[in-house]
Amino acid sequence: MAGFDKVVSSYEEAMAGLEDNMTVIAGGFGLCGIPENLISEIKRKGTKGLTVVSNNCGVDDFGLGILLPNRQIKKIIASYVGENAEFERQMMNGELEVELTPQGTLAEKMRAGGAGIPAFYTATGYGTPVAEGKEEREFDGRHYILEPAITGDFAIVKAWKADRYGNLVYRKTARNFNPMAATAGKITVVEVEEIVEPGELDPDQIHTPGIYVNRLILGTFEKRIEQRTVRSDS
């Protein structure tokens, strides 16, 4: 990476420095907007003992789910189990440490981490197992719990388009958790469908400024659909 140019030429270079027992924050929702090739590179590297922060853990043979069979993930902080039988099996058998977090809280924990806010109060989860062991406060007659922010050693992100300086544009629902994840990593790695020259993106359309991005790579994507639903011809 030279100067402002964030582009790297290989996935090996993109994920250089990822080591065992690190924390990885991954964008995506279900299989939508996931950094699928960066996940595949983590599998190829064989990095283990990872703490992964993501909305969910993909499916058994795609997305973050491909890291489960080889026990590359030690702990996952997620909103739900999703369509992943191996995730469920490992969780129920005590083989995988799982911290289930309300979806909006998880998004805010990432956003707060990226903004340098160490913790925040939220009413979500008060009076439930989510609140166990957390500080509780009352404001204006309503009860809140203190949630710590999340940061990671790496953040892996999928965007639609970027310029070489790392300014990012996401496309429709693939935006999901990606903007928050992009701000919360010490090293943020982004894969995109198209890279343009600086100045070609409308500044008003940029979702993530390049200051948050460390490495950028052009990829090709399967974009698998988790649950395909089509209209009947009858």
Structure tokens at 48: 């283990």
Torsion angle (degrees, nearest 10) of CA 144, 98, 40, 191: 0
Q: Please tell me the distance from the alpha carbon of residue 65 to that of residue 49, in angstroms, as a whole number.
A: 15
Nearest to 26 by CA among 190, 211, 207: 190
CB atoms within 10 A of CB 207: 15
Domain layout of the chain by residue ranges = 11-119+149-218
pLDDT (tens place) for every residue of the chain, 234 residues total:
446 999 999 999 999 999 999 999 999 998 999 999 999 999 999 999 999 999 999 999 999 999 999 999 999 999 988 788 999 999 999 999 999 999 999 999 999 999 999 999 999 999 999 999 999 999 999 999 999 999 999 999 999 999 999 999 999 999 999 999 999 999 999 999 999 999 999 999 999 999 999 999 999 998 888 788 888 876
Tally Cβ neighbours within 10 Å of residue 166: 27
| Cα dihedral 116/156/104/114 (nearest 10) | 10
pTM score = 0.94
**Class for domain 11-119+149-218, per CATH?**
alpha beta
